[in-house]
Structure 1
Amino acid sequence: MFKALANWLSRRKGKTLPAPNDVDSNHPTVTEGTTTELESIETNPSRLVPYDENLLERSRTQWQFGDWESLARLEREILQHHPDRAKLALLAAAGHQQLGNMAAARQFTRLAQDWGCSKKLVSQILIAGMHNTLGRVAVITNQESRAFQHFGNTIALGMPGADVRLLTQARITQQISQLGITHSRQHQHELGTLLPDNLKSSSSVPADFANPIFSVKKLAHLDLGDAWAGNTINTVVFRHHGIVTLEEYQYTAFYKDKQTLRLVKRCLNDDTVQTHDIEGQYNLLDAHNSISLGYDRQGFLHLTYDHHGTQLHYRRALMPHAIGAWSDEIPMTGAYEEKVTYPTFILPRHGYPLTLLYRDGVWNKGSARLKSYDEAAQAWIDYPTPILSGAEEKPWTCNAYWNHPAVGNDGSLHLSFVWRTDSLGDEQLINNINIGYAYSNDNGINWRTSRDRLYKLPITPVNAETVYPVSPGSNLINQCSMALDSQNRPHIVFYSNDESGIPQYQHLRFDGARWHHQYLSNRKAAFDLKGGGTLQIPISRPDIIMDKEDNAYIIFRGDLSHNKLAMLKLKSPAYSHTLGSHLEIWHESLGYAEPIIDRMRWNKDEVLSLLIQYNDQPNHDMNHLPTNHSIQILDVEISSLRRS
């Protein structure tokens, strides 16, 4: 394959190129000062067809880290109207080259040249790909020095001027993972010192190559087929529940397309899968319109879907533990159901019934209400008073956004929340403030502060316990997550600005006497939450789970993990950590997706079961591309490696 590719390149360049087996670490094919044409190709910016303006930068990042499968998913139909189509086609060719799809590689290479790529740039990228392949061969044959010479040459050829050492370390991790070879990150760090001097930079080894205190092991991976991925409607973090286990079965649901809501039932004993489609007309162009699942004490599934400040959409299964037959779309009680958003099922426990928490109202004038389900009467019952409300505040109304509700081992129900009122300034900065907390020992009838003082309902910004103050305009994100330790003490994760105005992941916990706060990240890039609709944000909202030893695990996706799903462990009792000491859970980029966790399975078996899908997310949910990607279930096991 190498010889044929070399001959083909030589014919296109009109001169002889060395065959791959003649490339030696003593004669690197890197020329200092080369300017990459991926940065300089002139294109026509005038386009009438909507396109993803972040596609080139995302694809360049995927090339840098060797995410070939994502590059190979670039399709001509998407690229042909893009102003950077020449560069994108060449990167797609590189992805196909590494996956051995030579016919597709040739096709996209021809497209790249037809659309404006020079022969010089084509040669640079494809020769860089040859070095990558030779590096993989050297890894397999334990020729470590040669392997890292080739990987370094790959980066230096394809991205002149980049931080070769840092990107080579990242490429090492990705290629070793793709080969299925197990190396500790500390070993990868040690191998990185084998880079020749001409490819080393002054950059320090990134912190996420530090020796971790835990490992993750894939237990199962199920592909559920392609589904809508034009935004994050299938993977928004506030789906509660997006995937859920009841006895020996696991259930999930997603939008396959705008006419199809698909339900899935998986047998955990043998991984057999059943599906059932509910046909309808679904608004997929608003990522708020996600699907939530619950079940009652008799094992009947309940389903809500497709609303953002609109009429409740609700169905109930007609048989227990089954997905094949459903009621028509019906009301619950008919009261307070005209402006519904964020329906959240709180599952039965300790004799309490299935309960629904939802917003009644809109983003700056809303109330959090509860309904509970009576199986004997097959009817829902409204709680008389909202539990959280800013709808009557004066002179400005507001709304409470809650994080994932958490249920204690004694049946207690815990909520943490932020308040939002009108946007700030001409930029329309999202104005979330303060983190509040409340818990209930009677399934939401009465609520108390962390100091065990009884609230008067509804809880408002006036009487809410603020457990961590956040000032207006601080990029505090709404709807993150909370979990409880074995003593039912809350742990909250979120992000907002640090003292320098950079959004950082943060951890807030209560030890029974006082609240503790710490930063979990050291990001360098600023961004602002502003405008309406679902935003295109470089980091996901974080999620949190806790194990039986009270260790906390933070799950996230974003620029810290090259858009791969990652996990950070906070070890009990101090919950200390090393910045950047996270591990990847899944080796592929997930675009803008957020973590969707089966909490019931984690609580029962300590198996982390996730619903994953690569998603786009156009800013403000405008100008969607009709994109589909595989939606999957991933099961992983977490193991400790050493004491810290």
Structure 2
Amino acid sequence: MFLTRFLRLLLLALLTTALGARAQTPVGLGWAKNNVNGAIFRKNSVVSQGQNQYVAYYDSLGYVTLGKRRLPAGPWQVQRTKYQGNVKDAHNVISLMADGAGYLHLSFDHHNNPLHYCRSTAPGSLTMSELQPMTGDREQKVSYPEFYRYPSGDLLFMYRDGGSGNGNLVLNRYAVKTQKWTRLHDVLIDGEGQRNAYWQACIDPMGTIHVSWVWRESPNVASNHDMAYARSLDGGQTWQKSTGETYKLPITAGTAEYAARIPQNSELINQTTITTDAAGAPYIASYWRPAGTQVPQYQLIYLKDKQWRTTQISQRTTPFSLSGVGTKRIPISRPQLLASTQKGRTAAYLLFRDAERQDRASVLQCADLGTNTWTAADLTTASVGNWEPSYDTERWKKEQVLSLFVQRTGQGDGETLENLPAQPVYVLDWQPGQPVRPATLGAVAVPAGAPSPAAVK
């Protein structure tokens, strides 16, 4: 037994060494007829706490399925829950987080419908409780559930109350000590019945919450406009602008600080990414079509000398247009942005997928944001379809290791499906600063007689 275990660990070590900066571990088979497993606003798809890492996805039958492994490269234990989601709607993602005590928190299957929330029955367990409320208020029209972990181990939960073009941002906080949720704000950002905010958020190493958002005037994605910003130094109770000026809440279109002014009909996408450097300076990434051009480009918005600035970081050549309602089939993904500060220099990594790169999982790297020099590399050799990047935010904060959720997905335009069978789910680990060796995504073995490809414990 001991010899077998030793040989297995030795093989894993040799494999990781051979792969250099990149290693991949297969988990199971996931629903792939649309991008519900691969949407960017999964906060999170993969998450770690202590030495345990967890992953969540819908299996081929639409069951919420959880996986757990021991870091850095242990085998996955996979368990199907009793919960199913409406996987035919790509909005209805699974969001996962582990609190500081090791309990898993899960929210899933939302698009303007009642809250679906549960947590594990014990720290580190994959067995989930019955569905339960958080506060019991404003939980009937929930969309875009997102978890974030404070440095203390408490959790922040953000979601939209209301519909596209007419919704408000709600904030809850979970206390590890009491195991209770409390309401921070019924309405942090108010659409005033005329619009809604599509946000992205992060919590920096000091515990400051950063939020940026675009406004949308109607369900039509073409009505996206502008990029606004707010931060909280006290866990979400009070909010201020980058200048330190305190917001009168709720924040509205008329009172918001604008990091960038972007007109409607600019192919501006919603729900992208915000991060910070080690000092808490915010960086926002998105894409839109610069004025006078036809091609949407990835853009970086950042603060320098107390002024917001924008710089283009891609050199795409293929035009496309965003308009209409529902989930769109788009030739590029929304981006994820990561930053790493060492010896006074901040490096940045923009994760994306682009048809111009054969729809591979790719990364734009900048070794020093002071130079604004970006180079592109692929993290996979094969197409990932309509996938968008999501990753283990907590492992990145702790180890500067990217654990990326990867699965090839389809996506028809406007909530239609592609006839794509279940596809392998992977967690791809990459250490920035090392040579990139793209992963080859192979098959996942499924034991005979399994009730579902991803339901093997």
TM-score of the pair, normalised by structure 2 = 0.87
Matched, 1:231 2:34: yes
Letter in 2 for 1:529: L
State the partner residue of 1:522.
315
The structure 2 residue matched to 1:389, chosen from 173, 190, 198, is 190
State the partner residue of 2:385.
591
* Distance across 2 between alignment mates of 1:235 and 1:284: 12
* Distance across 2 between alignment mates of 1:269 and 1:624: 35
Q: For each residue in 1:266-286, what CA deviation from the matched residue of structure 2 results, as whole angstroms up to 9, or x when unmatched?
A: 111451221111123320111
State the partner residue of 1:345.
147
Offset at residue 354 of structure 1 (A) = 1.0
The structure 2 residue matched to 1:275, chosen from 73, 78, 84, is 78
Offset at residue 380 of structure 1 (A) = 1.2
Letter in 2 for 1:569: Q
Letter in 2 for 1:373: Y
Contact 1:474–1:501, Cα closer than 8 Å, also in 2: no
Residue 229 of structure 1: SS of its match in structure 2?
coil
Q: For each residue in 1:494-549, what CA deviation from the matched residue of structure 2 results, as whole angstroms up to 9, or x when unmatched?
A: 00112313211111111252122111122222212112211100000011101132
* Distance across 2 between alignment mates of 1:417 and 1:575: 26
1:553-592 superposed matches below 5 A: 553-578=349-374, 581-592=375-386
Letter in 2 for 1:446: T
Residue 395 of structure 2: SS of its match in structure 1?
helix
Contact 1:552–1:575, Cα closer than 8 Å, also in 2: no
Contact 1:612–1:633, Cα closer than 8 Å, also in 2: yes
Tell me the number of residue pairs that the alignment of Structure 1 and Structure 2 aligns.
414
State the partner residue of 1:220.
23
**Larger relative contact order (Cα-Cα within 8 Å, sequence gap ≥ 6):** 2
State the partner residue of 2:138.
336
Contact 1:366–1:399, Cα closer than 8 Å, also in 2: yes
* Distance across 1 between alignment mates of 2:312 and 2:81: 44
* Distance across 2 between alignment mates of 1:357 and 1:623: 28
Offset at residue 408 of structure 1 (A) = 1.6
Matched, 1:370 2:140: no
Q: For each residue in 1:354-409, what CA deviation from the matched residue of structure 2 results, as whole angstroms up to 9, or x when unmatched?
A: 1101111111111111111133443211124421110x25xxx1000012x12122
Q: For each residue in 1:176-206, what CA deviation from the matched residue of structure 2 results, as whole angstroms up to 9, or x when unmatched?
A: xxxxxx9xxxxxxxxxxxxxxxxxxxxxxxx
Residue 603 of structure 1: SS of its match in structure 2?
helix
Contact 2:221–2:269, Cα closer than 8 Å, also in 1: no
Residue 604 of structure 1: SS of its match in structure 2?
helix
* Distance across 2 between alignment mates of 1:259 and 1:537: 24
State the partner residue of 1:30.
none
1:112-191 superposed matches below 5 A: none
Letter in 2 for 1:417: W
Select the structure that is richer in strand: 2
Q: For each residue in 1:140-177, what CA deviation from the matched residue of structure 2 results, as whole angstroms up to 9, or x when unmatched?
A: xxxxxxxxxxxxxxxxxxxxxxxxxxxxxxxxxxxxxx
* Distance across 2 between alignment mates of 1:318 and 1:537: 39
Between 513-522 and 433-442, the greater mean CA deviation after superposition: 513-522
- Report the CA distance shift for 1:507/1:436 in structure 2 as closer, same or farther (over 3 A): same
1:411-490 superposed matches below 5 A: 411-422=207-218, 430-490=222-282
* Distance across 1 between alignment mates of 2:226 and 2:125: 42
Structure 1: give runs of 5+ residues left out of the alignment: 1-181, 183-215
- Report the CA distance shift for 1:577/1:273 in structure 2 as closer, same or farther (over 3 A): same
Residue 560 of structure 1: SS of its match in structure 2?
helix
* Distance across 2 between alignment mates of 1:254 and 1:494: 25
* Distance across 1 between alignment mates of 2:383 and 2:417: 22
The structure 2 residue matched to 1:536, chosen from 309, 329, 332, is 329
Offset at residue 295 of structure 1 (A) = 2.2
TM-score of the pair, normalised by structure 1 = 0.62
> Which aligned segments of 4 or more residues in structure 1 are displaced greater than 4 angstroms?
none
Contact 2:169–2:190, Cα closer than 8 Å, also in 1: yes
* Distance across 2 between alignment mates of 1:634 and 1:640: 15
State the partner residue of 1:603.
397
Contact 1:429–1:528, Cα closer than 8 Å, also in 2: no
* Distance across 1 between alignment mates of 2:281 and 2:106: 30
Q: CA RMSD in A?
A: 1.8
Offset at residue 336 of structure 1 (A) = 0.6
- Report the CA distance shift for 1:575/1:239 in structure 2 as closer, same or farther (over 3 A): farther
* Distance across 1 between alignment mates of 2:315 and 2:321: 17
Looking at CA atoms only, which structure, 1 or 2, has the larger radius of gyration? 1
Residue 252 of structure 2: SS of its match in structure 1?
coil
Residue 304 of structure 1: SS of its match in structure 2?
strand
Identity of aligned residues (%): 33
Structure 2: give runs of 5+ residues left out of the alignment: 1-17, 436-457
* Distance across 2 between alignment mates of 1:577 and 1:375: 42
State the partner residue of 2:426.
632
